Amino acid sequence: MFRLSKALIYTTVLLTTSVGSAKIANAAQQPHVKQHSNPTEMLILDVEEGKTKIVAASKFDLNAIYTPFKSPSIAKNVQEDFTIKDNIIFFQPSNEQPFSIYISEKGDPQAPTYKLTIAPSPVPVGQQIKLEPKEPYFAAETRRANKTNSDYPSTVIKMLSDTAKLIASKEKKSIDNFILDDSFDASPYYIGNALLNPSFKLKGMDYEIFVLEVVNRSNESFELVNADFASISPEIGLVESDTFIESAGVGFFPDQVIQPGGMTHVILVRGN
């Protein structure tokens, strides 16, 4: 059942030394070190503009870079050959000299640009590298569609529904057009007899989605009220401010009525 009120959409979705140790730990986190320790596993590489990531590439086999772009472009100053198919860049270094490339979206001046320094390696297995932007990238046509989209209620309801499916799957990290915010960290808090624990946050171009775990700490069952959660800050709870902007959508999964000691999830969709 869906209830719409102004811009607010409610729904219940059922569905050594310490220094030495630090240096060692930091080195172990370097992408090329991970690649050499497990060369047959795809490397998930966090990327952002303004930062260079060093990765290894096999000299003896074909390597692949999976980009977030629909039609990636490459800027380089070396005589290396690259083949682009859909969103994937294929290449095989011709010598042992490290080189750098810049990757972006062809024909989109607003697209981010990511820099990789590639170190040719004798590893016999071609490396597979997937770029994971810290900020989500949306192609130009998607940005235009979002700006002119008049089907606002359906858009928000779909975000709530997709997030409920994400919770139920317990496997996926995000939903379409959103990325998981790894830096999100908030402490539990109470609203009445409900203990709320901020679980995770998804970031999109126009919206953010927060998922909270809610536990009934009373001896009686109670029903969660949509309007109560629309007017809270996902990170800290109740806010007393005339300028606070309510959530665009509120959903509950799997239940809206919680039994004593029971738990459910609250999904909050908020505009950026």
User: Pairing relation of β-strands 249-253 and 99-105?
Assistant: unpaired
Nearest 10 degrees: Cα torsion 123, 128, 165, 194: 60
Sheet holding 82-85: strands in order across? 43-47, 128-133, 63-66, 88-91, 82-85
Residue type, 130: K
More confident call, 141 vs 79: 79
- In whole numbers, what is the pLDDT of the chain averaged over residues? 82
Share of the chain above pLDDT 70, in %: 81
Per-residue confidence (pLDDT) for residue 227, from 0 to 100? 79
Does one domain contain both 65 and 168? Answer: no
Residue 21 has pLDDT above 50, yes or no: no
CA–CA distance, 201 with 75 (Å, rounded to integer): 34
Out of 137, 164, 187, a domain closes at 137
Residue 145 has pLDDT above 70, yes or no: no
Residue 30: inside a domain: no
Is 106:113 a contact under the CB 8 Å cutoff?
no
What are 118-128's pLDDT values in tens digits? 999 999 999 99
User: How many structural domains compose the chain?
Assistant: 2
Handedness of CA 60, 28, 172, 141 (dihedral sign): negative
Residue 197: inside a domain: yes
Quickly state the pLDDT bin for 147 (edges 50, 70, 90).
very low
Does one domain contain both 126 and 209? Answer: no
Residue 81: inside a domain: yes
What are 152-179's pLDDT values in tens digits? 677 888 899 999 999 998 777 788 888 8
Does one domain contain both 154 and 267? Answer: yes
Per-residue confidence (pLDDT) for residue 27, from 0 to 100? 44
Residue 149 has pLDDT above 60, yes or no: no
Residue 94 has pLDDT above 60, yes or no: yes
For residues 85-112, average pLDDT? 92
Residue-range definition of the domain harbouring residue 63: 42-137
State phi, psi for 54 to the nearest 5 degrees. Answer: -100, 125
Residue 213 has pLDDT above 90, yes or no: yes
Does one domain contain both 177 and 250? Answer: yes
